[in-house]
Copies of this chain bind each other. A is one copy, B any other.
């Protein structure tokens, strides 16, 4: 693999000059620039990022820690992050932390060892103390990680409210919430609170079912089936869209008509859902805006590690009306 010295020799100039050309610094004649560029092309030269970074340049690498990219929501988010960062000349190291705190810790260590310029973290694991010690720019999606790590999220409380309003407007009176197992500090809590806040102003039945986030779809379906079979509800709010899909499926199996017998509101509103399941009424998180915001903050911190940022940045959500609520 060609090195800077090889280029220098080939172009008949000094290594310093080549470096000057690459970094566009100092004064240079067009002629030498041309010579050097020619040699670079000729030898298919790529400056060694490792050496550059070691010498103090940025690595242009961002670590992205998420629960997993198989889920359409995070899939879309990663795609968005990747795209936006590419345009700003950064690359991402993808870390699927899953539900595995140990893995997340290992990844964090690794990212530090690799001297990434910053980290975007949106995992579901709690109590990763390492985030506090990590002395590099970090932005979090929707989770509290440590005192000085800004949290970007969409307005979960508002989302819960919108969901409740949609169900109310559709005339539902016997309401049910289906949500992942509730953890302290989980953003889904806010969704519930927003929902309840609207409901409690009316005199309505409201039940809550928790289904572990990591349960398989089959297991989830089973619980949903039990729930629906009782036929005691006419409105459901699922705190994620995928679970909503399961509800729709089970409802169909049980000959429960949506929206006639049952109304349904989901949460997330990914492109995938909008494209392939437009009948589902759902609360759309503005993924693109969230990512723009996270990247913006992250780059600010990278530019100036001391810069003061807010603790929270909350972006508005939108109701996407489908036919699952009249």
Residues of A within 8 A of B (CB): 1, 44, 46-51, 53-54, 59, 61, 64, 68-72, 75-76, 78-79, 82-83, 86, 91-96, 103, 107, 109-110, 112-115, 133, 135, 216-218, 242, 245-246, 249, 271-272, 275-276
Contact = CB atoms under 8 A, between A and B. Distances in A.
Contact of A79 (B51, B54, B96): B96
Query: Which secondary structure dominates chain A's binding surface?
Result: helix
Given A50-B114, A91-B110, A217 B69 contact: no
A80 to B, nearest CB: 9
Given A54-B50, A96-B79, A115-B49, A70 B246 contact: no
Nearest to A78: B69
Contacts of A217: 275-276
B75 A70 contact: yes
Contacts of A64: 94
A75 B48 CA distance: 30
Nearest to A249: B276
B110 A70 contact: no
Contacts of A96: 79, 82-83, 86
Nearest to A106: B86
